[in-house]
Amino acid sequence: MEVERVQCLASGLLNELPTQFIRPAHERPENTKAVEGVTVPVISLCLPHDLLVKQIAEAASEWGVLLITDHGISPTLIARLQEVGQQFFTLPQKEKEVYANDPSTSSFEGYGTRMTKNLDEKVGWIDYYFHMISPPSKVNYDMWPKNPPSYREVTEEYNKQVLKLTDKVLGLLSEGLGLETKALKSSLGDEKIEMEMKINMYPPCPQPELALGVEPHTDMSALTLLVPNDVPGLQLWRQDHWVAVDIPQNTLLVHIGDQLEVLSNGKYKSVLHRSLVNKERTRMSWAVFAVPPHEAVIGPLSALVNQESPPKFSTKTFAEFRHRKFNKLPQ
């Protein structure tokens, strides 16, 4: 089935948005203005250990999101990651379509665009590239772009660095709950934790005030680590309004996802967020989702549950959680 790509639509000199991209009035950016100038917690990984644990736990509890500096991933590597991602999206359309995914078969790896299932459903102004980057047993290199030629080398190096950073952040978050350093990582599958790369590409949009790149959602991951290009657009829901997030250069944005909210029995918050689009400029972001393997059983950790603090979430496999989330069923 042929899919109409947003990038192709955008290059066709549209003056008006096609209907499927126009959000209901209560969701439109023009009617839901975000608060500007609010600063998300910025935390240096070079802080003294106890202070670092305290600050990260506070940010995860109060915000569900934090910006990390001194994270150990070189600006050069991040720039190369962004360069190879941008280069893929500038390839001829026919070459990109070689990697087209087929969500109807539950296969999301590859080049994709979300399609409507019915006339009332709205979609985001976004194309994407999605593939597994870890563990090695789950990586299918056939679904990685062959062009540009350096894509694999750059992405594998970034994966190594992101794995180290994920370990570090999960350890700090475990200690912030009063648990052993390895507690969260072990509960999420340890070395079987899966790392998923998603390159989000939001082309210039003729009527950005009516559209969204991605609708409001929480991430079903445990953690999401994100680097954007220099075009803003990420907003998060806080204290009953949208807040525009400014991401300074050389910082990494860390989202708390649903699985950490469940494991922490609600102490850490999975943050509701959305993406806006721009009239003149292409916005891009590179998200790595750390998720448990499908068979992992995720529920509130027993050490955090007692008579005063009963479980707030049911325990289920990640596969079951994922099925419910995709199909908008109660958890």
Q: Tally the domains of the chain.
A: 1
- 36 belongs to a structural domain: yes
Catalytic residue IDs: 198, 217, 219, 273
- 265 belongs to a structural domain: yes
- 304 belongs to a structural domain: yes
pLDDT tens for each residue of the chain, 331 residues long: 568 899 999 987 788 999 999 999 999 999 999 998 889 999 999 999 999 999 999 999 999 999 999 999 999 999 999 999 999 999 999 999 999 998 777 778 999 998 766 557 899 999 999 999 999 999 999 999 999 999 999 999 999 999 999 999 999 999 999 999 999 999 999 999 999 999 999 999 999 999 999 999 999 999 999 999 999 999 999 999 999 999 998 999 999 999 999 999 999 999 999 999 999 999 999 999 999 999 999 999 999 999 999 999 999 999 999 999 988 899 9
CATH number at residue 294: 2.60.120.330
- 37 belongs to a structural domain: yes
Res 14: pLDDT: 82
Task: Please list the alpha-helical segments (H only) found in the chain.
Answer: 6-10, 49-62, 75-89, 93-97, 151-176, 183-187, 258-263, 318-326
Res 310: pLDDT: 96
Residues 124 and 211: their CA atoms lie apart, in Å, by 7
- 148 belongs to a structural domain: yes
- 13 belongs to a structural domain: yes
Which residues, in sequence order, are CB contacts of 253 under 8 Å at separation 6+?
A: 40, 65, 66, 67, 68, 225, 226, 227, 228, 234, 245, 247
Q: Which residues, listed in sequence order, are joined to residue 201 by a DSSP beta bridge? A: 127, 284
- 94 belongs to a structural domain: yes
Question: Which residue matches tokens 């918050």?
Answer: 269
pTM here is 0.96
Res 313: pLDDT: 97
- 1 belongs to a structural domain: no
Domain that holds residue 46: 6-327
